[in-house]
Amino acid sequence: MTYVGSSRLLPAAPRNARGQALEIIRQKIITLELAPGSQLSENELAGQLGLSRTPIRESLILLAEEQLVSVVPQVGTLVSPIVEAEIATSQFVRESLELAALSEAVDVVDAGQLADLNAVIAEQRVADERDDTELFFALDEHFHFALMNISQHGSAWRTVSQAKAHLDRARRLSLSLTQQMSTLIDQHQSIVDALAGGDSRAATDALRRHLRKVFDDIALIRADRPELFDPPASSRRR
Amino acid sequence: MTYVGSSRLLPAAPRNARGQALEIIRQKIITLELAPGSQLSENELAGQLGLSRTPIRESLILLAEEQLVSVVPQVGTLVSPIVEAEIATSQFVRESLELAALSEAVDVVDAGQLADLNAVIAEQRVADERDDTELFFALDEHFHFALMNISQHGSAWRTVSQAKAHLDRARRLSLSLTQQMSTLIDQHQSIVDALAGGDSRAATDALRRHLRKVFDDIALIRADRPELFDPPASSRRR
DNA sequence: TCGTGCACACTACCATACAAGCTCTGCCAT
DNA sequence: ATGGCAGAGCTTGTATGGTAGTGTGCACGA
């Protein structure tokens, strides 16, 4: 069982050209393969992906709605720079929704769901041993989705996932991701343990600690390398 | 000072064809002018709005992302039916975010912001006297936006607004909107009063009561006229 | 009368052509 | 040498044509 591929875990992206383009470009932005602030071009992307401008353009419009790119009419499209305010908003949205969902999850969780969560954690241990950050991110997405899915509000995952995307992108700026994986996995375990114990307060506290750590790590990156954040003076070419 | 027009209170929609089409179609869906479950057509909309299919199509793609329409390839586009699960999700998102924002707002609110909120309430009283539901909805949007804007998380309004759109659409099914306006305005006042008093718990309780009333009203409509909800057996033509 | 299959009309999807606007470069005049 | 203007080459925005797929209704046969 593998979780690679569509790391979005959402309504099976359509296999039409637009769906493919959207997923590819989105993933390249989140993984920083397309640098924040760098300029894009509908024509260029169309050439690279072997498609016409239409599906590319439609993808970019959706990514703009998600705030991952910024389209300036008649000028160009650029990968959104990583702005502190945007990160803070994403954190707020993610934290509020995940915590609210978890507090309801405690009362309805069943053994199978706990087993699933523990299974994901076990896989994350493997990803950690292998220093496989890509696998770790995919499993992290899966873990948090499974967590929300326990409550009746799994369909709000769409919203959480969009916020999480901004946070994950900023996280990837860190040079020491592999050193933090084990701590993060321990926190996942704490959440599941509290959930299994039926302790609502302990579970939400554990989740809050976890999410705050992610946020604080981003703040550390910013303190270390402020040039990676906020609007770039001039648009860098990719 | 009037709040009509773009009831979205968001990054000044672009005045290009797509922006106009998006706003018009979106508004028609929310106001039920386009019936839930009814079928749309890129061609037909293009003709009605005097545009080509391109900006219409792009608008529909964005509305699909917002779950307000459902696009089935090679078959058609239909206005999303009002589904209970979707309403519940929207309520969850809205409630979680507005409450979280308000709990932080209590510590930072200033006199000017309270005055603004009271001014909006005063205008709502006028809208109530005139039985002007459209004005009421616009002012309601403005009130809740202003409330969130007190905290640092005003930029999460985008997300809240999308959830609220689904709730507002369902609310409009009610035949007795005008009779509820005064209660809702009283609740707005309670929120502002608690906020002014610096009582965080009272404020969030008041807001929760308010949001729950809106949600419960929708449940009442559903109990009364279940045929208005959930997937329509066959697609009705508009 | 009822069931079956085929043709037609309609859909969204994609490709492409054209239009409008911005930016930057390089020439020209001062 | 420097300021300004003109034009070329980009950009995204819009319009339109062709394609593939779906659903429907009608005709035909049992």
Q: What is the pLDDT of residue B13?
A: 60
Comparing CA positions, the residue from A63, A72, A42 lying closest to residue A54 is A42
- CATH architecture for segment(s) B84-225: Up-down Bundle (1.20)
Convert the pLDDT of each residue in B132-153 to its tens digit: 999 999 999 999 999 999 999 9
- At A13, the pLDDT band (50, 70, 90 cuts) reads low
Q: What angle do helix axes B177-196 and B133-150 make, rounded to 10 degrees?
A: 20
Å between CA of B177 and C1' of D9: 57
CA A166 to chain CA mean position, Å: 6
- The pLDDT of residue A176 is above 80: yes
- What is the total residue count of chain A? 238
What confidence score (pLDDT) does residue A230 get?
A: 80
Q: What is the pLDDT of residues A185-219, one digit of tens each?
A: 999 999 999 999 999 999 999 999 999 999 999 99
What pLDDT score does B123 carry? 98
Overall fold of domain A84-226: Four Helix Bundle (Hemerythrin (Met), subunit A) (1.20.120)
- A159 near B166, Cβ under 8 Å? no
- Give the strands of the sheet with A69-72, arranged side by side: A39-40, A76-79, A69-72
pLDDT for residue B9: 59
Per-residue pLDDT band for A9 (boundaries 50, 70, 90) equals low
Contact B157, B10 (CB under 8 A): yes
> Which tokens go with A195?
């959930």
Please give, rounded to a whole number of angstroms, the shortest distance from the CA of A16 to a CA of chain B.
9
Locate the chain B residue with the closest alpha carbon to A60: B58
CA distance B47 to chain A (A): 21
pLDDT at A11: 57
What is the ipTM metric for this complex? 0.92
User: Which has more confidence, A3 or B138?
Assistant: B138
Nucleotide nearest to B64 (CA to C1'): C12
Burial level of B205, CB count in 10 A (0-12/13-18/19+)? middle
| Strand C nucleotides where any atom sits below 7 Å of a protein CB | 10-17, 20-23
Which H or E element spans position A135? helix A133-150
pLDDT over threshold 60, residue B230: yes
Q: Which burial class, exposed, middle or buried, applies to A7 when counting CB atoms under 10 A from its CB (0-12, 13-18, 19+)? A: buried
In a mutational test of the B interface, the residue from A16, A54, A62, A93 whose CB has the highest number of chain B CBs within 10 Å is A93
Classify domain B17-81 at the CATH class level. mainly alpha
Q: Which amino acid is at A196?
A: A
Q: Give the per-residue pLDDT at B5.
A: 41
Name the residue among B178, B175, B171 with its Cα closest to residue B219: B171
Measured CA to C1', the nucleotide nearest B73 is C12
What does the DSSP 8-state code read for residue B235? P
* Confidence grade of residue B15 (pLDDT, cut at 50, 70, 90): confident
Instruction: Report the C-alpha gap between B135 and A162 in whole angstroms.
Output: 32
Confidence of residue B10 (pLDDT cuts 50, 70, 90): low
Confidence (pLDDT) at B206: 98
* pLDDT at A164 (0 to 100): 98
Q: What is the pLDDT of residues B48-82, one digit of tens each?
A: 999 999 999 999 999 999 999 999 998 999 999 99
Q: Give pLDDT tens digits for A113-136.
A: 999 999 999 999 999 999 999 999
Taking CA atoms, B131 is separated from A89, A203, A238, B174, in Å, by 37, 47, 56, 14
Residue spans of alpha helices (H) in B2-132:
17-30, 42-49, 53-65, 84-105, 111-129
pLDDT of residue A62: 98
- The yes-or-no verdict on residue A65 having pLDDT over 50 is yes
Neighbours of A44 (CB within 10 A): 12
Q: Is the pLDDT of residue B204 over 80?
A: yes
Q: Are A161 and A9 in contact (CB under 8 A)?
A: yes
The residue ranges of every structural domain in chain A are 17-81, 84-226
